[in-house]
Amino acid sequence: MAEQSFDLIVVGGGPGGYVAAIRASQLGMKTAIVERENLGGICLNWGCIPTKALLRTSEINHLLHHVQDFGFSPVTATFDIEKIVKRSRAVAKQLSSGVAFLMRKHKITVFDGTAKLAGKQTLAVEKDGKPVATLKTPHIILATGARARELPGMEADGKLIWTYRHAMVPPAMPKSLLVIGSGAIGIEFASFYLNLGVKVTVVEVLPRILPVEDEEISAFAHKAFEKQGMTILAGAAVKGVKKAADSVTVTVESGGKSQDITVDRVISAVGIVGNVEGIGLEGTAIKVDRTHVVIDEFCRTGEPGIYAIGDLAGPPWLAHKAMHEGVICVEKIAGLNDVHPMNTGNIPGCTYCRPQIASVGMTEARAKEAGHEVKVGRFPFIGNGKAIAMGETEGMIKTVFDAKTGEMLGAHMIGAEVTEMIQGYVVARTLETTETELMQTVFPHPTISETMHEAVLDAYGMALHI
C-alpha cells in the first residue's frame, strides 16, 4: 500500500468538509477528502435536505385540506407514506451524487473509509477494518460532524423510539407521537407529522418551546401549534419510558405533578454529540469540550496543522455555518490577506415548521442583558396585502435596534417563507447598516418582504400600515 501525499486533506464529506475541499482545490492545493458513508454528510443525506422534502409534502397535505378557501371544491386527500419517503430519499440521493460530481470537477481525490490521525502529518484510512491508504499532508481539517444525543434509559431502538433518522423513514404512519425536545429538529418533525394527521405531543424541559428564539416568537409559535392541534408541555421533564409491543408509555413530570402519556412512537430530539471518537485525538494537543473540538477564530486546534469545522467544532450547529468555516479555514491556510473570522452574530437560524421561523442576531432580552438601550419594531402579516392574498396571514416580524447608534441588533420572524426573507436582514447586519439605510431601502410591492420594512419603521414610530 503506497503512501500518498496531499497539500490538504479533509476528514468528513459533509457541507463543511466538501466545501472546504472545493475551496482548497480552487486555490491550487492538491486535495483529498475521506468520507465513511455518503458525500454530503448528514445534511444532504439525513438532515437539512430530505427533511425539507418531507415538510413540503406535509405543507401540500395541509393545503389540500383547505382548497375550499381558494375557491375549489373540497377534495379527499390521501397519501402513501412509502411514496413520500421514497421521494425524500431520491432528493437526498440526487444531491449526494451532485457532490460526487463536484469532487470530480475539482479533481479532489475521494477516499471511501474512516480516517484516523496516525502521527505527525499522517492519516491512516480504513474500510471495514482493512487498511485503505496512508496519507501524508501538512494540513488536516477535521469535519466529522455530530450525531443525535440520547437520554439514558431512552436510547433509540428504531422501532418504538426514534432519532431523526428513523423519523425520516417510517415504515408506517403512527397515529400518535411524542417528541422530546422543541429545538429546530424536534419542532420540524412535530410539524411534519401533525400536518399529516398524527396526534402530536411535544415535551420541552425548558420553560418555553424553541428556547433559542426571541420570547415573543416562541410564544407566537406555541399558540399557532396549539391552534393546529399540537399538545405542548413546556417546563416538563421525561422521567421514564415503558415499552409495550407496539406503543410507548412516557412518564412526564411538570410542576411537581406526573402523568403517563401512551403513544405509538417517540422521537428523541435532545441535541447532538460531536463525533470525536476514533479519529486519533489521543496524544495530541487538541482539546475537547463537551464532545466538541476547541478551535480559535480561524478553526485552528491546539495541534499545529490540524483544524476543525462544523458541528464537530461547536455551535451554532448549522450547515451554512460549517460551509463558511470551511472557506475561512482554507483561505487562512492558503495565506490570503483578507480572511475575516466568523461572526456568529450574523449567522441566521431557520426552522421549517408551519409557520416557518427565522432569526439573526440578538433577541430583545439578550440585547438588554448586553447593556443596550433598545428600540423594538413589530409588524403583523395581517397588515400585508400579499400575505392576505396568499391566505398566509399568520405571522409577524420583529426588529431590535440600538437606540443610540441605530445598529440592527437582531431580527426575528415567524410566518410563511420567512426562511427565504431573513437573508435581507443578514446582509444588512453584515454591511453594518443602520435603521436609516433600511428605512430608505425600497421594498417591492406586493411582497411579504414589505413586512420587514414596516417592522423597521415601527421601531421608530413610523409604520405606515398599522
pLDDT at position 342, please? 92
Q: From the candidates 66, 292, 445, 453, which is the catalytic residue? A: 445
pLDDT at position 453, please? 98
Residue 399's nearest CA partner among 354, 463, 315, 448 is 463
Measured distance CA(54)–CA(391) in Å, rounded: 22
Are 166 and 156 contacting, i.e. CB atoms less than 8 angstroms apart? yes
Could you tell me whether strands 265-268 and 161-162 are parallel, antiparallel, or unpaired per DSSP bridges? Answer: parallel
Coil, helix or strand at residue 350: strand
CATH fold, domain 355-459, is Enolase-like; domain 1 (3.30.390)
pLDDT at position 1, please? 60
Q: Cis (ω within 30 of 0) for the bond into 348?
A: no
Measured distance CA(204)–CA(223) in Å, rounded: 15
Active site residue 445: yes
* CA angle 457–458–459, rounded 5-degree value: 90
Residue 315: all three cell numbers together: 455551535
* CB neighbour list of residue 154: distance below 8 Å, 6 or more residues apart: 161, 180, 238, 240, 241, 266, 268
Level-2 CATH architecture, domain 3-148+273-334: 3-Layer(bba) Sandwich (3.50)
What pTM does this model have?
Answer: 0.95
Alpha-carbon distance values, 142 to 33, 35, 281, 337, 375 (Å)? 10, 11, 10, 23, 42
pLDDT at position 416, please? 97
Instruction: Give every residue of the chain whose pLDDT is below 50, as ranges.
Output: none
Amino acid at the residue 337: N
Are 111 and 125 contacting, i.e. CB atoms less than 8 angstroms apart? yes
Phi-psi region of 170 (alpha: psi -120 to 50; beta: other; left: phi over 0): beta
pLDDT at position 3, please? 82
Which class for 461: exposed (0-12), middle (13-18), buried (19 or more C-beta within 10 A)?
Answer: exposed
Coil, helix or strand at residue 373: coil
Measured distance CA(407)–CA(465) in Å, rounded: 24
pLDDT at position 76, please? 87
Same fold, 3-148+273-334 and 161-270: yes
Are 204 and 237 contacting, i.e. CB atoms less than 8 angstroms apart? no
pLDDT at position 75, please? 87
For the domain 161-270, what is the CATH code?
A: 3.50.50.60
**Domain range summary for the chain, segments of one domain joined by +:** 3-148+273-334, 161-270, 355-459
pLDDT at position 2, please? 63
pLDDT at position 148, please? 92
Measured distance CA(236)–CA(340) in Å, rounded: 42
